[in-house]
Structure 1
């Protein structure tokens, strides 16, 4: 991941605003997610994920809801139940070396898609964090991936 290139944030204004607040406050304002309407979305924890664009080679950053499994972080490639995977997921499949920011802690990590056996155990954890994931899965024919992020040593 290039340290000299500033990542491009989401083109979605409220996601970009959330990301900017997260960065500017060291995670103090962005770690617990506030929805686009300004209300706390049930205290849902978020992290910042930076991937490398599979076509552009440029860093791309987005804020995502996360859970934890031991020392690993978990994210869900739901895209709200859309028929296609989110672009950030496609990027990390092509290049699993990513950067995370959780609160003020910024670090390198390796991403991988949970196996079916792992997903059977991890999906309920993520639904506990964000119950709408259940509806997202019902809305689409694709199997929504759970991604495991392991801090680089």
Structure 2
């Protein structure tokens, strides 16, 4: 699976499958995300839409960092930032659903050395992020640390 992540067709297929993945995640209470690929740690991230004020849910891969979660705004290598990342910049309070458990979190957009450390962990988990970074051109892929709010 990790080798396929670098292929353009895989990114197109992945983008097309996000709505179905979102539905499966909701129906299973977040127990099945990333189309059931158990080797990839996956979550549902619910943000507040910066334009609508409505909840917006996105399935994402993540890595753990202490008590928090780390996600990257790869947008499958597209030129624009993903809406969920811009939503977190506008409103850092969010909710993650991991393994069926909903957890309120605070999002922190990481930069500098911390970003590089966390990016290395993300790349170890899903090497295709490097391909997505190259495809995104001048756009920096935003990295966020999601810390439990409690």
TM-score category, normalised to shorter length: 0.7 to 0.9
Q: Given the alignment of the two structures, is residue 98 of structure 1 paired with residue 94 of structure 2, yes or no?
A: yes
C-alpha offsets along residues 111-136 of structure 1, whole Å, 9 cap, x if unaligned?
Answer: 01112110111111001111100011
Tell me what 1:85 maps to.
81
Which residue of the other structure, out of 133, 141, 146, is the alignment partner of 1:144?
141
Unaligned runs of 5+ in 2: 1-14
Tell me what 1:108 maps to.
104
Q: Given the alignment of the two structures, is residue 53 of structure 1 paired with residue 86 of structure 2, yes or no?
A: no
Please tell me the root mean square deviation across aligned C-alpha atoms, in Å.
1.7
Cα distance in 1 for residues equivalent to 2:31 and 2:142 = 28
Tell me what 1:34 maps to.
35
TM-score (norm 2): 0.83
SS in 1 for 2:40: strand
Structure 1 runs of 4+ off > 6 angstroms?
Answer: none
Tell me what 1:133 maps to.
129
TM-score (norm 1): 0.81
Higher helix share: 2
Higher relative contact order, chain-length normalized (CA < 8 Å, sep 6+) = 2
Deviation of 1:13 (Å): 5.6
Unaligned runs of 5+ in 1: 1-11
SS in 2 for 1:137: helix
SS in 2 for 1:44: coil
SS in 2 for 1:34: helix
Higher strand share: 1
The 1:56/1:26 distance shift into structure 2, 3 A limit, reads: closer
SS in 2 for 1:127: helix
Tell me what 1:124 maps to.
120
